[in-house]
Each structure stands twice: as structure tokens, then as C-alpha cells.
Amino acid sequence: MKLRWPEFLRWPSFRSAVPDDQAPLPARDELQCWWRRTAAGIVAEDVTDAQIRAPEARYDVVLPEDFRDYLRCSSPVEFNLDEHFGNWWGIREIKNIPDEWGPEIGPLVPGRADQYLFFLDHCFWAWAWAISCADDESRGKVVLIAGIEHDKVVADSFTDFVRKYTRSWGDVL
């Protein structure tokens, strides 16, 4: 049986950070604007290159540049809930799929789950999103991890993910 998301999850966000006709901002700036505009109250910090290298070393990966930039300038410092009940993870919470989810992973990321890093969960871990740090065609792609039958690629990059999430979040479900 295919999961059918409730229709209200498909509605566009009425508080997009940036109008569609405006030149795009870097993902970190668009996300921070959206957090402010929606009164999310998310406190973020700048992190050092040494702090960013820690998960890279732990998981033997190199972060995609737009994701690295987000963590460098917008890393949340504590548990948070945005307008969509998303909890954005800070640099200290970043984990790969096996460390956070466990060994049961669908065919979407076979043999590469250790190279996908979670960065956001929904509503106290109903599902979550992870970014590929693999050195292959999946690099930078964002996947929804929601159970073996529901896992899927939802964005081609972190920047693409942020734009979808802040403008019409049903597009990342």
C-alpha cells in the first residue's frame, strides 16, 4: 500500500522566505529569513571548520558545499520546532543513517547508508531527511527516510531542499 499524505500537507507555505520572482539567496540565508519570518525562534550559531570536520572525520565523508555553508552559519544550538514541526539538527546532532536509524534501510541507499547524514526530523522523529555525502551520482541529493516503502529522493541538493521546504513543503514529502 502506498502512503497517501493528507492534502493539507500539499498546500504551499503562505510565508515563503523569498518571493518566487526574487533572485535566489544562498540556502542558509533563505532558511534564516524563513525562520525569522515564521517566528520559529530558532537560535543558530556559527561553527568553526574544525567543528565541521568532526562529522566528516567520524563518517569519512566530505559534506556538500551548500550543506557545509548552512552548518557553518546556521547551525541550531538546541532542539527546535519550525512552522512545519521540523527540528533542524545542529552540528553536534548530525548522524549518519546507521547510527540514528539502524540497519533496516530500504533499497534507496543500499550499501551507502553510512554516507547519508540526517539534518532534520519531523514531529519528534515521525520521519527525517538526510543528505548524501557519497562520492557518486547521489552526492548532495536529499532523501526522505520514512520507512522502507516510503523512502525517496526529494531534492537534488540542500539548496533545492531548502527552497522546496520553505515554499511548498509538501514537495519534500
CATH of the domain at 109: 3.40.1580.10
Lowest mean pLDDT among 21-25, 67-71, 140-144, 161-165: 21-25
Residue 27: is its pLDDT beyond 90? yes
Residue 162: is its pLDDT beyond 50? yes
Domain total in the chain: 1
The answer to whether position 74 is within a domain reads yes
For the question of whether the overall pTM of this predicted structure is more than 0.85, the answer is yes
Sign of CA dihedral 92, 171, 85, 152: negative
Residue 15: is its pLDDT beyond 80? no
Beta strand spans in 85-169 (E): 86-88, 95-96, 116-122, 127-132, 142-145, 152-155
Distance (Å, rounded) from C-alpha 111 to C-alpha 107?
Answer: 9
The answer to whether position 102 is within a domain reads yes
Note the pLDDT of residue 19: 56
> CA angle, corner 60, sides to 127 and 114, nearest 5?
30
- The tens digit of pLDDT for each residue in 63-94 reads 999 999 999 999 999 999 999 999 999 999 99
Note the pLDDT of residue 148: 81
- The tens digit of pLDDT for each residue in 86-134 reads 999 999 999 999 999 876 777 777 778 999 999 999 998 999 999 999 9
The answer to whether position 100 is within a domain reads yes
**104 vs 62 pLDDT, higher one:** 62
Domain span at residue 44 reads 26-168
The answer to whether position 63 is within a domain reads yes
- Average pLDDT rounded to a whole number, residues 51-73: 97
The answer to whether position 147 is within a domain reads yes
Residue 5: is its pLDDT beyond 50? no
